[in-house]
Amino acid sequence: MTTHASGSDQDLHTDLALPAAHPLRDGRTGAAPLLTAYRGEQTTGHPVWFMRQAGRSLPEYLAVRTGTGMLEACLTPDLAAEITLQPVRRHHVDAAILFSDIVVPLKLAGIGVEIVPGTGPVVDSPIRTAADVAALPELDPTALAPIIAAAANCVEALGGTPLIGFAGAPFTLASYLVEGGPSREHLRTKALMHADPDTWHALAGWVARVTGSFLRAQILAGASAVQLFDSWAGGLSLADYQRFVARHSADVFAAVADLPVPKVHFGVNTGELLAAMRDTGADVMGVDHRVPLDVANARLGGTTPLQGNIDPALLFAGDKALYAATLEAIAAGATAPGHVLNLGHGVPPDTDPDVLTRLVAFIHDQP
Ligand code: 1CP
């Protein structure tokens, strides 16, 4: 989607790529402030949502998750939909983000992966050799049925509030497959790129196909925007990003390029990579809290709507400091063609949810 095209025959034509009941085609979400800002148009007021807004900061999440594993919850459509809606009901955020995880499509493709409480995704047999990559199963699209059902349930309940679909980008997902679990330095992943580029590209290409199908399914089921998380790409130099990663992220965006929903791209510590990441095919760039939004806007040439970027640590600093930082983000974001408020990374699990509810009200009160 082109961020500045509006009202042209081309829009009419591309909208037809969505199913007739899609909320962007039947008019439910098109005028939502989130989508207006993502298109780079003026909004009245400031749309806001939070990465990881569902989950452990909410007592109602802990209550419905009792006795159910994380991936089992993601694959139970009614439960995944309920968890997706919880933060919208409580905080009145401007978007829902599907409750799922970046490793869900790996699981659906047949990879042995679990989410271990307190750790994160852990892979039974790490993928490190050409033979490991050659043996990776292709994702059968029918396996995505529980994701499609969960997204459709959410969209039905959300009315005019957009659902954001998401997926993990090839580098970030490949890093879990190669390392076998969470990693700070991604040493084995980076070593594989340089030692055996063919195997690396085969692995990243496989992830790009799985991720492309996962995103496509969420959009066709009713998501009005998508976000591709390359959370750990900030560990790469620009040269390595260009050489080993950009083409695979571009393949993911290419897999959904015909579907006219805004595509957001985000990573942590990616100040040096912002333009390269945008150029893989993103319409909107998510920015973490290390780079002020006016600086990010300048780095992107002033043409790309932005999302972000309150430091999650400010959620623990008291309302005065939090609101001062929020006003700074609003002022810096106003330099970009469009701006959606968010944190610079996910909501920490021990956040007081009332702080988030008050923050949303404060943001919505701003002119
Ligand atoms: O039992 C639990 O509650 C497990 C905690 C949890 C939750 C709530 C995990 C394990 N994943 C999730 C849901 C999740 N994951 C969402 C839900 C939607 C929302 O935002 O409300 C999303 C968008 C994700 C995406 C995700 N998973 C990312 C990208 C976003 C980011 O934070 O950078 C990543 C890197 C993961 C991997 C992952 N899954 C879970 C954890 C703890 C981690 C990170 C582990 C690590 O540090 O490497």
Q: Which atom of ligand 1 is nearest to the CA of 347?
A: 20
* Predicted local confidence at residue 299, as pLDDT: 98
- Residue with the smallest CA separation from ligand 1 atom 7 is 55
| Rounded-to-integer distance, Cα 199 and Cα 64, Å | 41
Judge whether 65 counts as a catalytic residue: yes
Residue with tokens 């609003």: 330
Residue 168: which of 100, 115, 76, 236 has the closest Cα?
A: 100
| Rounded-to-integer distance, Cα 345 and Cα 313, Å | 10
* Predicted local confidence at residue 182, as pLDDT: 97
* Predicted local confidence at residue 13, as pLDDT: 47
Q: Under the phi-then-psi rule, with left for phi > 0, alpha for psi from -120 to 50, and beta for the rest, what region is 7? A: left
* Predicted local confidence at residue 6, as pLDDT: 41
Tokens of 237: 């130099």
Q: Which pTM value belongs to this model?
A: 0.95
Does residue 115 have its Cβ closer than 6 Å to ligand 1? Answer: yes
| Rounded-to-integer distance, Cα 36 and Cα 351, Å | 29
Divide the 367 residues of the chain into consecutive groups of 10 and give the mean pLDDT of each group: 41 74 96 98 95 95 96 98 98 98 98 96 98 97 98 98 98 98 97 98 98 98 98 98 98 97 98 98 98 98 98 98 98 98 97 98 98
| Rounded-to-integer distance, Cα 70 and Cα 104, Å | 10
Does residue 231 have its Cβ closer than 6 Å to ligand 1? Answer: yes
Residue 310: which of 323, 296, 295 has the closest Cα?
A: 323
- Pairing of the two strands 163-168 and 96-97: parallel
- Pairing of the two strands 120-123 and 113-116: antiparallel
- Residue ranges of domains in the chain, CATH in brackets: 12-365 (3.20.20.210)
The helix (H) or strand (E) run that includes residue 7 is: none
- Residue with the smallest CA separation from ligand 1 atom 28 is 102
Tokens of 22: 């899609």
Does residue 227 have its Cβ closer than 6 Å to ligand 1? Answer: no
* Predicted local confidence at residue 14, as pLDDT: 58
User: How far is C-alpha 33 from the chain's CA centre?
Assistant: 18
| Rounded-to-integer distance, Cα 103 and Cα 268, Å | 18
Which entry of 28, 38, 128, 176 is annotated as an active-site residue?
A: 176
Torsion of CA 230, 236, 241, 244, to 10 degrees: -100
Does residue 97 have its Cβ closer than 6 Å to ligand 1? Answer: yes
Hey, what amino acid is at 125? S
Phi, psi of 185 (to 5 degrees): -105, -15
Judge whether 290 counts as a catalytic residue: no
- Residue with the smallest CA separation from ligand 1 atom 40 is 120
* Predicted local confidence at residue 16, as pLDDT: 84
Does residue 58 have its Cβ closer than 6 Å to ligand 1? Answer: no
Does residue 105 have its Cβ closer than 6 Å to ligand 1? Answer: no
- Residue with the smallest CA separation from ligand 1 atom 8 is 55
